[in-house]
Structure 1
């Protein structure tokens, strides 16, 4: 086992075409993800995935507050975008996309299970009050470096990458394996800048395959 792993962030039905919170062109990440899965498995690297896994009454849902989706407010004292109901536990929308090579995934990490707080990052909730099992798994398996892609660039990918860097991991981001919500124009571009500024290295899939061969 190499000391690097591929982390697929929230490649779920609800974030792809026809989903409750579809990210524009979200489906286009799947070919990139599958190519990286094959590349990683051929080199003995683990493939991991995070999965948004909300209870039906999650506090981040606009429906719980009688407000319009994408409106802004507070949830348990933290700034919150209120989303359409999405990735409800055990729903079709919460499942990983059927075109994703799921058989190659070594471990799956749920997030967003606490109805009182949202959880963009695959490592922590948004208040960093509770950790998922991801960091412990990585340390147990002596993983020091992550290659990250997924949905959405400006939320779950960005905060996963920033937390990974804070935890001391080396992080590579495959930019064409990500797509953003872009509530404000340029949110995804800014997210890539934030990730790079914090220490992540950005690659396209072609760049990665060429430089890492």
Structure 2
């Protein structure tokens, strides 16, 4: 897909295209994760105000890892995380195997991605006490904690519109897109540049409806 150029005040957000999220060796690989790279590279070659990639950048004792919760099982058990500054605000999340640990190969962006065209890399999930699917930071709002600085960067660059692609469509892409729209950006997700964990039609339809309910435009295609 070719978007019109030039792209005044428009940003491309590339979510978590990391080794641990891609086959064949990723600790939390999304099926077909590498397959979207050529399309993302085509987008990178277009004219944008700014091109930003995000990374999960976890300490080895991150709260979302099942091995930090005795008796829990990765991909089966869940845990309720509290806002460190307001215990009444909570987030219940699935527990994961260790992934994207700082300083490991799994944390790095995949080699196929044309990183020479990426202007900034935003690291998320660095605070071991909270989970951050979104590139903007954890879901806690009252008060916000461990924000990544992505919103400030976009506003500093004068961005009004955002296109979001990457992994995983139904987790970090979704949460980033919703936060972007909630922050007032005109937000679009292009499915050809995304891969979901749940790739069946029913799950994708539900995901599209959820995004659209948050005023995110979804351009249909491969997912």
TM-score, normalised to structure 1's length?
0.89
Give the Cα–Cα distance (whole angstroms) in 2 for the partners of residues 24 and 179 of structure 1: 8
Partner of 1:69: 74
The verdict on how the C-alpha distance between 1:160 and 1:136 changes in structure 2, with shifts beyond 3 A counting, is: same
Equivalences, count: 203
- Which secondary structure state, in structure 1, belongs to the residue aligned with residue 29 of structure 2? coil
Partner of 1:52: 56
Partner of 1:25: 32
Question: 2:188 aligned with 1:172, yes or no?
Answer: yes
| Deviation, structure 1 residue 102 | 0.4
Partner of 1:210: none
Q: Which ranges of structure 1 fall in alignment gaps of 5 or more residues?
A: 207-213
Contact preservation (8 Å) 1:11, 1:97 = yes
The structure with the largest helix share of the pair is: 1
- Which secondary structure state, in structure 2, belongs to the residue aligned with residue 89 of structure 1? coil
Partner of 1:192: 208
| Deviation, structure 1 residue 14 | 0.4
Give the Cα–Cα distance (whole angstroms) in 2 for the partners of residues 201 and 185 of structure 1: 18
- Which secondary structure state, in structure 1, belongs to the residue aligned with residue 106 of structure 2? coil
TM-score, normalised to structure 2's length?
0.85
The partner residue of 1:7 within 13, 19, 33 is 13
| Deviation, structure 1 residue 196 | 1.7
Give the Cα–Cα distance (whole angstroms) in 1 for the partners of residues 79 and 167 of structure 2: 23
The partner residue of 2:22 within 2, 16, 21 is 16
| Deviation, structure 1 residue 191 | 2.0
- Which secondary structure state, in structure 2, belongs to the residue aligned with residue 93 of structure 1? helix
Partner of 1:209: none
| Deviation, structure 1 residue 182 | 2.2
Q: Which ranges of structure 2 fall in alignment gaps of 5 or more residues?
A: 1-6, 83-89
